[in-house]
Amino acid sequence: MSLFRNIVFTAVIAGLLSGLLMTVIQHFSTVPLILQAETYERAAPEAGHGHSHDAAPAAGAASPAAEHHHDEEAWAPADGFERFIYTAAADMLSAVGFGLVLIAIAEALGGFNGWRRGLMFGIAGFLTVSLAPGLGLPPELPGMPAAELGSRQVWWISTAACTAIGLGLIGYTRSAVLAALAIVLLVAPHLIGAPLPPTHETDVPIELHARFVNAVYATNLVFWAVLGTLTAVVREKFRAGEDIAARPAAGLASR
Amino acid sequence: MVTNSAASAVSVSASKIIPLGMTALLGLFIVGFVGFSHLEVVHNAAHDTRHSLAFPCH
List pLDDT tens digits, range A141-152: 998 999 999 999
Q: A245 or A219: whose pLDDT is higher?
A: A219
pTM, two decimals, is: 0.84
Asked if residue A179 belongs to a domain, the reply is no
Q: A248 or A10: whose pLDDT is higher?
A: A10
CA nearest neighbour of A116 among A33, A242, A1, A231: A231
Asked if residue A74 belongs to a domain, the reply is yes
Asked if residue A141 belongs to a domain, the reply is yes
- Structurally, chain B folds into a number of domains equal to 1
Write out the residue range of the structural domain in which residue B33 sits.
13-52
Q: Is a pLDDT exceeding 80 seen at residue A48? A: no
Cβ distance of B51 and A140 shorter than 8 Å: yes
Highest mean pLDDT among A74-83, A184-193, B8-17: A184-193
Question: How far separated are the first and last CA of chain A, in Å rounded?
Answer: 27
Asked if residue B6 belongs to a domain, the reply is no
Whether chain A has a CB inside 8 Å of the CB on B6: the answer is yes
Asked if residue B58 belongs to a domain, the reply is no
Q: Is a pLDDT exceeding 80 seen at residue A47? A: no
Asked if residue B20 belongs to a domain, the reply is yes
Cβ distance of A254 and B53 shorter than 8 Å: no
Asked if residue B2 belongs to a domain, the reply is no
Asked if residue B46 belongs to a domain, the reply is yes
List pLDDT tens digits, range B2-33: 444 444 445 577 788 999 999 999 999 999 99
User: Complex ipTM above 0.90?
Assistant: no
Residue B14, burial from CB neighbour count under 10 angstroms (0-12, 13-18, 19+)? exposed
Write out the residue range of the structural domain in which residue A52 sits.
2-146+197-248
Asked if residue A173 belongs to a domain, the reply is no
Substitution target in B4, B11, B44, B48 with the highest count of A β-carbons within 10 Å is: B48
Asked if residue A204 belongs to a domain, the reply is yes
Q: Is a pLDDT exceeding 90 seen at residue A168? A: yes
Q: How many other C-beta atoms lie within 10 A of the C-beta of residue A146? A: 23
Substitution target in A5, A101, A148, A221 with the highest count of B β-carbons within 10 Å is: A101
- Triad A25, A27, A32: Cα angle to 5°: 125
Asked if residue B4 belongs to a domain, the reply is no
Residue A237 CA to residue A50 CA, distance in Å, equals: 53
List pLDDT tens digits, range A89-126: 999 999 999 999 999 999 999 999 999 999 999 999 99
Residue B58 CA to residue B43 CA, distance in Å, equals: 8
Asked if residue B24 belongs to a domain, the reply is yes
Phi, psi for A142 (deg, rounded to 5): -55, 145
Asked if residue A192 belongs to a domain, the reply is no
Mean pLDDT of all residues belonging to chain A: 87
Where residue A233 falls among pLDDT bands split at 50, 70, 90?
A: very high
Asked if residue B35 belongs to a domain, the reply is yes
pLDDT of amino acid A59: 40
Where residue A24 falls among pLDDT bands split at 50, 70, 90?
A: very high
Lowest average pLDDT, out of A69-78, A202-211, A225-234, goes to A69-78
Cβ distance of B27 and A94 shorter than 8 Å: no
pLDDT of amino acid A58: 42
Sequence-ordered list of residues with C-beta below 8 angstroms from that of B3, at least 6 positions apart, any chain:
none
Which residues from chain B sit within 8 angstroms of residue A132, using beta carbons? Answer: none
Instruction: For A26-155, list the strands marked E by DSSP.
Output: none
Where residue A199 falls among pLDDT bands split at 50, 70, 90?
A: confident
- Structurally, chain A folds into a number of domains equal to 1
Integer-rounded Cα radius of gyration of chain A: 21
